[in-house]
């Protein structure tokens, strides 16, 4: 029973974190994007949150999902929870597009992450 309560608390904390709107300067987003494209998992996750919240960029759930999904090489559980939250905001067509592209993202970002080591 306690694991379910702790799990629910963790999910609630993640929802709060994902929906907290801050303000990110455009130059910060550009820096995040460069680091994310280079394979930095934390930058990928943070860029995904920017797209989720429309923070420094136009809100785009497909981009949010892509970047958060790609960050899963370092923390799969965190990425999985965040992707499920983002997917709830997406249309069926957007989910289908994400599903068709996710394997290529994983291959691409896993290779770039491994190159960083």
Is the pTM higher than 0.75? The answer reads no
Residue 22 has pLDDT above 60, yes or no: no
pLDDT at 13: 44
Given a cut of 60, is residue 18 above it in pLDDT? no
Instruction: Please write the tens of the pLDDT for every residue from 89-100.
Output: 999 999 889 888
Higher pLDDT, 90 or 106: 90
Tell me: pLDDT of 6 over 50.
no
Total count of residues recorded for the chain: 117
pLDDT average, residue stretch 26-33: 89
82 within 8 A of 45, measured Cβ to Cβ: yes
The whole-number average pLDDT for the span 98-108 is 76
Domain map (residue ranges) of the chain: 2-116
Q: What is the mean predicted confidence (pLDDT) over 73-81?
A: 89
Is the model's pLDDT at 108 over the cut of 50?
yes
Do the beta carbons of residue 49 and residue 86 sit within 8 Å? no
H runs (alpha helix) in the chain? 2-19, 26-37, 41-53, 61-70, 76-87, 92-116
Q: What percent of the chain has pLDDT over 90?
A: 50
What is the pLDDT at residue 112?
52
């Amino acid at each position: 029973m306690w694991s379910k309560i702790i799990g629910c608390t963790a999910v609630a904390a993640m929802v709060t974190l994902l929906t907290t709107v801050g303000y990110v300067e455009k130059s910060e987003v550009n820096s995040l994007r460069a680091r994310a494209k280079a394979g930095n998992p934390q930058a990928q996750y943070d860029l995904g949150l920017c797209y989720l919240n429309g923070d420094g960029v136009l809100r785009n759930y497909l981009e949010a999902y892509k970047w958060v999904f790609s960050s899963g090489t370092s923390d799969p559980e965190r990425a999985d929870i965040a992707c499920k939250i983002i997917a709830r905001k997406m249309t069926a067509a957007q989910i289908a597009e994400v599903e068709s592209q996710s394997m290529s993202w994983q291959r691409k970002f896993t290779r770039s992450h491994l190159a960083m080591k």
